[in-house]
Amino acid sequence: MIDHTHNIAATSWVASAAGHPQFPVQNLPFGIFSSAQNPIPRIGVAIGDHILDLSAIADRLDNVAANILTQPTLNALLALPQSVRRALRHQLFALLTDATNQPNLAPYLHSASAAILHLPTRIGDYTDFYVGIHHASNVGKQFRPENPLLANYKHLPIGYHGRASSIRLSGEPVRRPNGQRKSPDGDFPLFGPSQRLDYELELGIWIGEGNALGQPIAIADAGRHIAGICLLNDWSARDLQAWEYQPLGPFLAKNFHTTISPWLVTSEALAPFMTAQPARPVGDPQPLPYLWDATDQAGGALGLVLEVCLTTANMRAAGVSPYRLSQGQASAMYWTIAQIVTHHASNGCNLNAGDLLGTGTISGPTPDSYGSLLELSHGGKTPLTLPSGEIRSFLENGDTISLHASAQRDGYATIGFGECQAVILPAAS
């Protein structure tokens, strides 16, 4: 079925949308914004360098009740069936491509650079997975040299619950955490600022319609529970993690801050960029039937290019451009996002609209695509020398990390995810 909202030739009367690297009219991601004139957070759609205020035009939109579009979060919109958001997308596409709407709608366009963005949902629960197999292997080698990939890894998407309260939007500085660390040869742990602060390149999955407690989600149905995707930086204090993580998993090493990009890039916008899940290496086990669906394998992988850049305080002062630490493919995930969702609900656990699932760090097979400093510096053993001459094993105060994702395919307009960046502040004293 041809969906004309993917037509590369379509253009919007919002001039800045033409050829926009992130937000052409083929993207139309949802978010929450406020403006100086109206400080109430409300739903908007990114279009070029602008945000269209959906709350202000809610009574002209046929497919969604106005009281859902005037909420201060996306939760109610995400709780609707996927077909409703698809219809809304089609109507917005029509409104923004037909120039006769310009006089009526232009008053509700806000400059994105002047707007304040807010968390897109009230995140009820945040779960983080571990499906980047190269990351799991690389990290496993450091934490458990004798046993990097555990026996369960290829049978189920490993995941754990994270902290919802400390998820923050791009732009909010990250305070270096204090915590306990213990060197392998030390007799006692010390308490103080983390010495091994790291980023993790991840994608976030926004849950749409939820499932009732006790009712699993079949793999063939998982797609309709996935509303969209964002960028996610799972900041990690490796020294705290090494000391605390057994036997119940990461805790204070992760829950001090998680940064996400502000826009929910919809499953509808990403449809042309879904690709086949890479074939499992020969010898890998066949997953159990509840995790296996031929359609998902044929088109359930995200075809995105991912990138991480570092800007040190010195570089910023000197006006030097961000340094690219890595670039890779989102398809380097051992499990699809549908498998992640289905596994999460397989025991009856209820997912709710607006919940966020992290994929885990997405590293490619080679060092130029590793998604964390722990991997790039081999646990600090091989520090990186930056073009500025500075050396990094882990992050220093004043460093800014920015994540980028882009969906590119011949014959389609490139769409992006917006900003996911933050600077490191010194630890609380």
The catalytic residues are: 135
Binding to a copy of itself (CB under 8 A) within 128-147 occurs at 130, 140, 143-144
422 close to 200: Cβ distance less than 8 angstroms: no
By CB under 8 A, tell whether 283 contacts a copy of itself: no
By CB under 8 A, tell whether 327 contacts a copy of itself: no
Spatial CB neighbours of 186, under 8 Å, sequence gap ≥ 6: none
Residue among 93, 256, 370, 394 that touches a copy of itself (CB under 8 A): 256
Q: How far is the CB of 394 from a copy of itself (least distance, A)?
A: 16
Q: Which two tokens stand for residue 87?
A: 């219809």
Contact code string over 191-230 relative to a copy of itself, x by CB under 8 A: x---------------------xxxx--------------
Tell me which residue of 269, 205, 252 sits closest to 24, measured CA to CA: 269
Strands 400-407 and 258-260: unpaired
Q: How far is the CB of 98 from a copy of itself (least distance, A)?
A: 41
Residue among 179, 358, 364, 371 that touches a copy of itself (CB under 8 A): 179
Q: How far is the CB of 145 from a copy of itself (least distance, A)?
A: 13
Residue number with CB closer to a copy of itself (83 or 147): 147
Contact code string over 31-70 relative to a copy of itself, x by CB under 8 A: ----------------------------------------
d(C-alpha 333, C-alpha 33), whole Å: 32
Tell me which residue of 314, 319, 322 sits closest to 401, measured CA to CA: 322
CA distances to 97, 134, 170, 242 from 91, rounded to whole Å, are: 10, 41, 29, 50
Q: Which two tokens stand for residue 70?
A: 């005037």
Residue among 24, 41, 162, 262 that touches a copy of itself (CB under 8 A): 162
Residue number with CB closer to a copy of itself (188 or 319): 188
By CB under 8 A, tell whether 394 contacts a copy of itself: no
By CB under 8 A, tell whether 160 contacts a copy of itself: yes
Exposure letters 95-105 (e unless 16+ CB within 10 A, then b): bbbeeebeeeb
Instruction: Count other C-beta atoms under 10 Å from residue 245's C-beta.
Output: 16
Q: How far is the CB of 141 from a copy of itself (least distance, A)?
A: 12
d(C-alpha 353, C-alpha 78), whole Å: 6
- Containing 52, the helix (H) or strand (E) segment is strand 50-53
Residue among 7, 70, 178, 314 that touches a copy of itself (CB under 8 A): 178
By CB under 8 A, tell whether 280 contacts a copy of itself: no
Q: How far is the CB of 334 from a copy of itself (least distance, A)?
A: 15
Q: Say which residue the tokens 């304040």 belong to.
A: 116
Question: Would you say the C-alpha torsion 281, 286, 288, 290 has a positive or negative sign?
Answer: positive
Tell me which residue of 352, 345, 272 sits closest to 78, measured CA to CA: 352
Q: Using CB under 8 A as the criterion, which residues of the chain lie in contact with a copy of itself when the complex forms?
A: 124-125, 130, 140, 143-144, 150-152, 155-156, 158-166, 168, 175, 177-180, 182, 188-191, 213-216, 237, 240, 243-252, 255-257, 285, 288-290, 343-344, 346-352, 355, 428
